[in-house]
A and B are shown apart, each in its own frame.
Chain A
Amino acid sequence: MTTSVAQPSVEEFAAAVRAALSDLPADEVEDLTDGLEADLTERADDPDAPDLGDPAAYAEELRSAAGLAPRSAPRANIFAESATSLRTEWTAGVKRIRSSRRGSALLDFIVTLRPVWWVLRGWAAWMLGYGMLGQIAVTPNPFEIALLIGLCVVSVQVGRRKWLTWRWMRPIVIGGNILLIVLVPYIFGWAINSIYNSAYASIDQSYSDQSSSGLTYGGKQVGNIFAFDAQGNPLTGVQLYDQDGRPLNAVSDPSNTGYLSYTDANGNETVVVPSSAVPGRPGWNVYPLASVPPGTITDTGTIPPTATIIAGVPPFATVQPLAGPQPTTPADAPTDAPTALPTPSPVPTH
């Protein structure tokens, strides 16, 4: 019995064959070489058996007979080799950091933060989806929130190696990670910018809401107001104030506005000007406002003092008188002389 003598060479040969098949998945190698030692041992005892030859050639023969592709092509080999060397260097680097106490603590700290990256990765993927659609959700709707949560769950599960653990997924996950790491600063900048812009836009919106219009009714600008008394006769020189005692000016910036131009329902342009009878300020709350011919406005946007002032013409000569007994106000109290404006009492502070 020569088994004891042949045994080491059998082991060596089998090991060399397995090494030559190392590019295959482990279970494939196991299937191919299961029982190899037994066969080799028996063969070694067989005096008629021809020379076994080179283990690499043996492995190649085994591989081709089993219908498997020959050992990876040179180009794929370079890729695999560089991946292997990268992994080796990575491992060595980690080992170097781990060798110092401080480095080890730092590494542990970073490893603890890994779940943060997983969630961030889900969020970044979500943002990237919006980037591709060309819009950003500062206030996402419920579906978008559900999508965000879903992506974060997938990301965390991938991170925990619970989902998508197939071998071929690994390069995709690694590639996606690298892409997101590169893009995360941009995505952050973009998100902050968008949030800032939208906040600014809403501030701007409210600001412009306040500033641009004086009086509006039903969303449309009110250019002039015509008041009628209880008998249905038009009034002039009516001073209007709101519930807080503020003058109901036709323009929002009365002291700096010289005229207000509006177009009525018939398409006619009217340029109204404030009453000059209010002491200390333009009488933008004295109705009806008088007007000037549109052509008199100068190129610089001012109205020459020589311009013809036309009294506001009410849309109706009279309106229907009110029914029933009237309050104590005398019917002839209003005067049709705009210059005889009574001083309001109490005098508003504005």
Chain B
Amino acid sequence: MDTTQLLKGVLDVAVLAAIQDEDGYGYDVVRRLRSAGLDDVGDASVYGTLRRLYSAGALTTYVVPSDGGPHRKYYGINQQGRAMLESQRASWATFASTMNGLLDTKSRPQPVRTIGEK
């Protein structure tokens, strides 16, 4: 199964979760997600998501100059971002348990026949 498609729907909540404890810059967030097991996550997808969450008011941002090299743009979660994270966490939990129930072969209910079906 192509996990990149699955990832698209949950990238927001994944990025919010990745910076909920500690602010991070673009590649930093990518690395956190990869180390958490999301190997297929694309750099640009993460950067774009950070940018969009910032536009939506869920993140704060600040620039930190790095020694000799180009500056880094850090992102941090704010109140609104935390509320968003909580709401999406609940949504994910419901969704995941529904999917688990659906996919669990042992507990799968027998299909009900309709009248007239042979």
Q: Could you give, for residues 38-76 of chain A, a 1 whenever the CB lies within 8 Å of some chain B CB and a 0 otherwise? A: 110111001010001000001101111111000000000
Cβ of A229 under 8 Å from chain B: no
Given contacts A35-B26, A39-B25, A42-B27, contact A66 B70 (CB under 8 A): no
Which residue of B has the minimal Cβ distance to A41?
B69
Are B26 and A46 in contact, with the CB atoms below 8 A? no
Q: From residue A88, how far is it (CB to closest CB) to chain B in Å?
A: 31
In the bound complex, how far is the Cα of B67 from the Cα of A41, in angstroms? 13
Which residue of A has the minimal Cβ distance to B45?
A65
The majority secondary structure among interface residues of chain B is helix
In the bound complex, how far is the Cα of B66 from the Cα of A52, in angstroms? 23
In the bound complex, how far is the Cα of B48 from the Cα of A147, in angstroms? 49
Are B11 and A65 in contact, with the CB atoms below 8 A? yes
A1-53 residues with Cβ-Cβ distance < 8 A to B are 3, 31-32, 34-39, 41-43, 46, 48, 52
Which residue of B has the minimal Cβ distance to A17?
B44
Cβ of B82 under 8 Å from chain A: no
- Which among B26, B43, B46, B73 is the interface contact of A52 at CB below 8 angstroms? B43
Are A35 and B48 in contact, with the CB atoms below 8 A? no
Q: Cβ of A67: which chain B residues have Cβ within 8 Å of it?
A: 48, 52, 55
- Which among A43, A58, A62, A66 is the interface contact of B27 at CB below 8 angstroms? A43
Number of A residues with CB within 8 Å of any CB on chain B: 24
Are B51 and A32 in contact, with the CB atoms below 8 A? yes
Q: Cβ of B49: which chain A residues have Cβ within 8 Å of it?
A: 65-66
Cβ of B31 under 8 Å from chain A: yes
Q: Cβ of A46: which chain B residues have Cβ within 8 Å of it?
A: 27, 31
**Most A CB atoms within 10 A — which of B27, B44, B55?**
B44
Q: From residue B5, how far is it (CB to closest CB) to chain A in Å?
A: 13
Are A65 and B70 in contact, with the CB atoms below 8 A? no
Are A61 and B44 in contact, with the CB atoms below 8 A? yes
Q: Cβ of A52: which chain B residues have Cβ within 8 Å of it?
A: 43
Q: Cβ of B57: which chain A residues have Cβ within 8 Å of it?
A: none
Q: From residue A47, how far is it (CB to closest CB) to chain B in Å?
A: 12
Q: Could you give, for residues 94-111 of chain B, a 1 whenever the CB lies within 8 Å of some chain A CB and a 0 otherwise? A: 000000000000000000
In the bound complex, how far is the Cα of B55 from the Cα of A42, in angstroms? 25
Q: Could you give, for residues 164-206 of chain A, a 1 whenever the CB lies within 8 Å of some chain B CB and a 0 otherwise? A: 0000000000000000000000000000000000000000000
Given contacts A34-B73, A46-B31, contact A39 B48 (CB under 8 A): no
- Which among B34, B43, B51 is the interface contact of A39 at CB below 8 angstroms? B43
Closest 4 CB pairs of A and B: A65-B48, A35-B73, A61-B44, A66-B48
B interface with A by C-beta (< 8 Å): 11, 25-27, 30-31, 34, 42-49, 51-52, 55, 63, 66, 69-73
Q: A38-B73, A66-B49, A67-B48 are in contact. List 7 more A-B contacts (CB 8 A).
A: A35-B26, A39-B30, A61-B45, A62-B45, A64-B48, A66-B47, A67-B52
A interface with B by C-beta (< 8 Å): 3, 31-32, 34-39, 41-43, 46, 48, 52, 58-59, 61-67
What are 26 A-B interface contacts by the 8 Å CB criterion? A3-B69, A35-B25, A35-B71, A36-B47, A38-B26, A38-B70, A38-B72, A39-B26, A39-B43, A39-B47, A39-B72, A41-B70, A42-B27, A46-B27, A46-B31, A58-B44, A59-B44, A61-B44, A61-B48, A62-B44, A62-B51, A65-B44, A65-B49, A65-B51, A66-B49, A66-B52
